[in-house]
Amino acid sequence: MSVPADAASLTDPGIDNRRRYVDLMQRCLLGLIYEDPAQDPWTGGKFDLNNRLLGRDWPLRAHSMIGKARMENLRGAIEYVLKENVPGDFIETGIWRGGACILMRAVLAAYGVTDRVVWCADSFEGLPEPNAALYPADAGDEHHTFAPLAVSLDEVQANFAHYGLLDERVRFLKGWFKDTLPGAPIARLAILRLDGDMYESTMDGLSALYAKVSPGGVVIVDDYGAVAACKQAVTDFRQAQQIDEPIRDIDGNERADASAPVRARAHPQHPSARVPAQRGICRTDQRVRGGVCDARCAGRYYDESAAAR
* Contact between residue 78 and residue 68 where contact means Cβ atoms under 8 Å apart: no
**Predicted TM-score (pTM) above 0.85:** no
Residues 6+ apart with CB under 8 A from 205: 93, 121, 177, 181, 192, 194, 196
d(CA 241, CA 239): 5
d(CA 233, CA 157): 30
Q: Which of 91, 79, 62 is nearest to 162 (CA)?
A: 62
Whether the per-residue pLDDT at 199 is higher than 90: the answer is: yes
Cα distances from 145 to residues 43, 127, 248, in angstroms, run 19, 8, 31
Average pLDDT over residues 48-63: 88
d(CA 182, CA 205): 9
Task: Please tell us whether the domain made up of 67-308 is placed in CATH 3.40.50.150.
Answer: yes
Query: Model confidence at 276, in pLDDT bands (50, 70, 90)?
Result: very low
Q: pLDDT tens, 125-161?
A: 999 999 999 999 999 999 998 888 999 999 999 999 9
d(CA 148, CA 45): 14
| pLDDT at residue number 283 | 31
**Segments making up each domain of the chain, as ranges:** 67-308
| pLDDT at residue number 8 | 46
d(CA 194, CA 187): 18
| pLDDT at residue number 124 | 97
The whole-angstrom distance between residue 286's C-alpha and the CA centroid of its chain comes to: 13
Cβ neighbourhood burial of 10 (10 Å; 0-12, 13-18, 19+): middle
